[in-house]
Structure 1
């Protein structure tokens, strides 16, 4: 990437899931040296601070299939406004979570500028559930479905009405835990998925080459990377709320970030689901920052 003007936006939200602690994710990533590492590469960074999240009424009301719905809507609406404002100022948004429900707000905010946005979903999970298919009612398992226009109307119509991303512009990398309803939706909508099977069989180089070629064939006007740390194997990223064994390894993840940097297509990024209460000496926050280094152009030589 050329030298960028990057705005960091923290979203200390843990209301999209059931385990406490992921609200401290933005602080853990900052503590691991995100700003310093990105600035050392040559980019200009402004930390815009955190979106305010109201925790006072957690779990007191709402549909059991859409837990903490009102609070998730409010936080994501505020995030969408902030992302849209940052993009309007010509800056590159780097969003730090927080649980993965924050992608609803990120993608809503990006939709003001990008009318044919591509999305790379680097995750162990598809996050394509709705209230009808979700086994848990946790909204962090729904953001991709919401963003392609499926789910509760107040989530789908958050910030601006309707679909924010076309399903054919979505690519999921690293999936290895997919619910039955999500599996049906992937087939119905023709969503491109590279599971761990493809990564194991073909290698990360081939997978990322195919991802880049696919998104270019879609003539996207920007690409958002939504990186859930549980996409990595829990050996490398233990501090996540929903770890799934058999994931992407540390070096494969760096290679993926390096190749995405080389292609020059990435226009916004979020790193989510870092939970310091489940971590070991901030290992997962540190991994997030190291991957940022590769994504933003850090070179060994």
Structure 2
């Protein structure tokens, strides 16, 4: 059985300037019993057993925490972030991907029962199914920032390429992929999404107008009661995020990605966020880790900025 291991990372900001409030100064270890005291809580998921391609995402949570600790808390529009809780790291069982998904789902369900919005720090995309499925009892939509649609058939079991097919088959009400890349998806999988009234917004459309692209994804959510947001780091261009399983050209810039995330996370229906497929062993100069940490910062600020 999977469980949450208490936080072991020491949240300390590296700057010695007393005016530099950093995430290391505002993130605090917490437990499920105390999670309601925070607008946002972090959950580490160090797993890459479902990856199609190059592994390394299991090292994402530790590296992202280090990078996040050193970021300043101030956002020019939203003000500094409020306190953030760290629930620790999921202890993962052995077994195939479906067994891991079942175990992680039980932890995610407990986290979703709190009033805090969880930020799952992955880890690979196969755990998206586990993170989202406890929310399916409600009217739910998912917006996936990703180069790929991840609706592959489960020919040999669940993988990082199957989570949205699993969710759609389990009753997901609305799905949109934001930042999809040409020549990265099979025609049949695009048809599968369209047949289910899903939306695909390409990287080019994001480049033309990020806010309009985000609004198109939100429009595809219809009147769902709750919204889940996922960032697969491979949505970023390979120059911005080399440390992913499948880096390719033609992706989003980090600035486009951050603008999308802040806009989407400002929707008051947001019930959860995740960052997946950040693989530090494959990274160059810490670019992907830095992007993943700043993505979390933008979402946290949208959820918990104090507006000062």
Give the 5 Å matches for 1:20-59: 20-33=55-68, 41-54=80-93
In the alignment, what sits opposite 1:193?
200
Which SS does the other structure have where 1:182 is aligned? helix
Which SS does the other structure have where 2:266 is aligned? helix
Distance 1:108 1:140 in 2: 15
Q: Tell me, yes or no, if the aligned pair for 1:104 and 1:144 is still in contact at 8 Å.
A: yes
CA separation of 1:21 and 1:79: change in aligned 2, threshold 3 A = same
* Per-residue deviation, residues 36-93 of structure 1 (Å, max 9, x unmatched): 76799333322222222345xxxxxxxxxxxxxx421232222211121112122211
TM-score, with structure 1 as normaliser: 0.79
In the alignment, what sits opposite 1:267?
271
CA separation of 1:286 and 1:5: change in aligned 2, threshold 3 A = same
TM-score, with structure 2 as normaliser: 0.77
Distance 1:27 1:164 in 2: 33
Contiguous gaps of at least 5 residues in structure 2: 1-36
Distance 1:295 1:174 in 2: 17
* Per-residue deviation, residues 83-118 of structure 1 (Å, max 9, x unmatched): 211121222111011110010100112235xx1111
In the alignment, what sits opposite 1:242?
246
CA separation of 1:142 and 1:277: change in aligned 2, threshold 3 A = same
Distance 1:21 1:89 in 2: 30
* Per-residue deviation, residues 119-165 of structure 1 (Å, max 9, x unmatched): 10000000000134x8xx7710000001111xxxxxxxxxxxxx141
CA separation of 1:50 and 1:164: change in aligned 2, threshold 3 A = farther
In the alignment, what sits opposite 2:25?
none
Q: Tell me, yes or no, if the aligned pair for 1:117 and 1:222 is still in contact at 8 Å.
A: yes
Matched, 1:78 2:103: yes
- How many aligned positions are there? 262
Distance 1:38 1:181 in 2: 44
Contiguous gaps of at least 5 residues in structure 1: 56-69, 150-162
Quote how far apart the aligned CAs of 1:190 are: 2.3
In the alignment, what sits opposite 1:102?
127
**What RMSD in Å do the two structures reach over aligned CA positions?**
2.6
